[in-house]
Amino acid sequence: MTVDPLIELRDVNKYFGDLHVLQDIGLTVGRGEVVVVIGPSGSGKSTLCRAINRLETVQSGTILLDGQPLPHEGKALARLRADVGMVFQSFNLFAHKTVLQNVSLGQVKVRGRKKEDADRRSRDLLDRVGVADQADKYPAQLSGGQQQRVAIARALAMEPKAMLFDEPTSALDPEMINEVLEVMRQLAGEGMTMIVVTHEMGFARSAAHRVVFMADGRIVEDRPPGEFFGDPRSDRAKDFLSKILKH
Ligand SMILES: Nc1ncnc2c1ncn2[C@@H]1O[C@H](COP(=O)(O)OP(=O)(O)O)[C@@H](O)[C@H]1O
Ligand SMILES: [Mg+2]
């Protein structure tokens, strides 16, 4: 699957002060590949995602998107953020804009689309994620699951090359988790390149091509889900899985 790399990290190191949060990270994600990242809290999963979107800078190493180094600033950086859609645990929608405006805004500002074209596309995407009837409401009027699906639609509206999900269901009530995972499963099925940080092991088993297990800023295992869950090699992974599968 890694014959056609879309995202590549080579020897990436990142420090917060003395804390070495990303240690010699090497990771290649092929076009159309779905990589689930798991690991204990504080292991660097969010920092890894944020580095790929250049929400965090790294001290050394190379990060390539589609063969190109990440741009450092200006319009190119805004385009990168559009090319790599990111969905966070907190939905991060603009509270004072309607759902439709939330999804259309970036299309107009970054992609330079006409408002009518953007709105048409937005309605299409809202329909795809199952919230077409919420278009004229404000985020606070929606459930968490609906808001998260709007956040996904907003990222997709930019026609990203890849999508990063950082614990997209962790803030949701249990009954809303599946409606979000279902949208993600559908995206994966359509061939979207995805990096997904999640504790949803069912999703990892069914949708991931590879599971990357991180601990203390390192990638400890990087294997197909069947192998990883069936036969974790490292003590860290065994320990982590025994805790997460028990609770
Ligand atoms: N902005 C920051 N400043 C200082 N330390 C940070 C910052 N962000 C994260 N960290 C630290 O970096 C480590 C990795 O954090 P993070 O990437 O959020 O881990 P994870 O997402 O796996 O829980 C943690 O020890 C965390 O406390
Ligand atoms: Mg995190």
| pLDDT tens per residue across span 92-131 | 899 999 999 999 999 999 999 999 999 999 999 999 999 9
pTM of the predicted protein model: 0.95
pLDDT for 78 beyond 90: no
Each residue's pLDDT tens digit, 47-63: 999 999 999 999 999 99
- Contact at 8 Å (CB) between 137 and 99? yes
Strands (E), 174-217: 193-197, 210-215
Nearest atom in ligand 1 to 197's CA: 21
pLDDT for 23 beyond 60: yes
List CB-based neighbours of ion ligand 2 within 5 Å. Answer: 45-46
Nearest atom in ligand 1 to 17's CA: 4
Taking the CA of 56 as reference, the closest ligand is 1
Each residue's pLDDT tens digit, 205-239: 999 999 999 999 999 999 999 999 999 999 999 99
Nearest atom in ligand 1 to 39's CA: 22
pLDDT for 192 beyond 90: yes
Q: Residues near 106 by Cβ (< 8 Å), separated by ≥ 6? A: 82, 154, 157, 158
The pLDDT of residue 244 is 84
Q: What phi and psi values does residue 152 have, to the nearest 5 degrees?
A: -65, -45
Taking the CA of 47 as reference, the closest ligand is 1
Tokens coding 73: 């600033």
Quick one: 41 exposed, middle or buried, by C-beta within 10 A (0-12, 13-18, 19+)? exposed
Average pLDDT score, the chain: 95
Of the residues 20, 37, 38, 47, which should be mutated to test ligand 1's pocket, given the most ligand atoms within 8 Å of the CB? 47
DSSP class of residue 144 equals H
Q: State the distance from the centre of ligand 1 to the C-alpha of 21, rounded, in angstroms.
A: 7
